Chains A and B, each alone.
Chain A
Amino acid sequence: MADARLTLEQVRPGDRLPELAVDVSATTVVLGAMASRDWRPMHHDKDFAVERNGTRDIFLNTPNQAAWFERYLTDWTGPAGRLGRMKFRMKDSVFPGDRMVFRGVVEKVATDATGCGWADVAVQLAVGERVATECAARVAIPTQEGDNPWRRKGERWKP
């Protein structure tokens, strides 16, 4: 998937991204916290998470969830896809033992005044029937073969 080279002409509103399922372990949570240099104990100390935060276990931190969303989106676009904007809302926590499933649907496809191609994608991170996090992402995608959003700078980059 990571070698895919999506172009904007291949994308339509309503398109669904391939699902990604990940079994979360304590290692997933701790590795994610350490990778984002987040030393807060609720992401590695179960006693602290339960007694101080009132949660049932340690849970995935915000920056690592962002990294998961980035990975999910660029698995779809390939390396020429360039993230412009991500907004996400944590509605519930993701704990060890959870199977998290990422699902995405294209909401809008457009080319801006500078010629940059954009896909707006709604992504959900769900655990069973429970939506843990919702993410609204705006990703620049080559308008055609040979176009490269990464070359855009200054006034030609309007995320």
Chain B
Amino acid sequence: MSELPAELQGWIGQKRYEQEGEFDVERGYVFTSCASVQNGNPLFWDEKIANQLTDGWIAPPTMLSVWFRPHYWAPNRSGTAQPLQVHFDLKEKLGLPEAIMTDNTIVFGEPVRPGDRLRTWQVLRSVSEPKRTKLGVGRFWVIDVEYVNQRGEWVGTETYTGFGYRREA
């Protein structure tokens, strides 16, 4: 397990899974997100303040990844689509059945607004040598997820550090 397969070496630095969101950014989900954390920021609830500060409604910046997380089911889709597909590809290719995220950095650009249709892609930055942790033996990896809006304006970048592992008996 120490050598990283050549196929995975080739993924490092390459754009993968470029896609457009399946649906527009919408306020209903903004309310769902705000309700989940009791976020009363008037930018999301008070139209006068939203108009004054952000020229209209925006979505909470930390919802960036939500706009690409598929609904659990959709017609003509077989199985459940996975967000952050490179992470799941790595688990499968490296034979590591379990995984957690350890670090997450998000840098925010242009505000995301209801009606926007975003585009995204993923870039694998690195994969570590095998490591032993209290969870098991596995590897750490770093994945960037870039986001732009329909005008090509950068709206944000997420960087995830994942740890894929196999539990020890």
If over half of B's interface residues share one DSSP class (helix, strand or loop), that class is named, otherwise mixed; here it is mixed
A37 touches B70 (CB 8 A): yes
Flag if B36 contacts A32 (CB, 8 Å).
yes
CB distance from B74 to the nearest CB of A (A): 12
Chain A binding surface, main DSSP class? mixed
- Give complex CA distance A22, B36 in Å: 12
Does A36 contact B33, Cβ atoms closer than 8 Å? yes
Question: B53, B71, B107: which contacts A148 (Cβ < 8 A)?
Answer: B53
* B35-A31 in contact (CB<8A): yes
Instruction: Enumerate B17-67 residues with CB–CB distance to A below 8 Å.
Output: 29, 32-43, 49, 53-54, 60-63, 65-66
CA gap between A38 and B82 in the complex, in Å = 9
Whether B62 pairs with A67 at a CB distance below 8 angstroms is yes
**B61 A70 Cβ-Cβ under 8 A:** yes
Give the shortest distance, in Å, between A94 (CB) and chain B (any CB): 13
Nearest B residue to A90, CB-CB: B102
- Size bracket of the B interface: 35 or more
List CB contacts (< 8 Å) of A60-104 with chain B. Answer: 62-64, 66-71, 74-75, 79-80, 82-90
Asked if A37 and B41 sit within 8 Å, CB to CB, the answer is no
B53 and A83 contact, CB distance less than 8 A:
no
Interface residues of B, Cβ cutoff 8 Å to A: 29, 32-43, 49, 53-54, 60-63, 65-66, 69-72, 80, 83, 98, 100-111, 135, 160, 167
With an 8 Å Cβ cutoff, the count of chain A residues facing the other chain is: 43
10 interchain residue pairs of minimum CB distance: A37-B69, A35-B36, A71-B39, A66-B62, A2-B40, A87-B105, A70-B62, A79-B43, A71-B37, A67-B37
Report A131 CB to chain B, min CB distance, Å: 14
What 13 additional pairs, Cβ within 8 angstroms, besides A34-B36, A67-B60, A75-B40? A2-B39, A22-B38, A31-B35, A63-B65, A66-B62, A69-B62, A71-B41, A74-B39, A74-B41, A82-B61, A85-B107, A150-B111, A159-B109
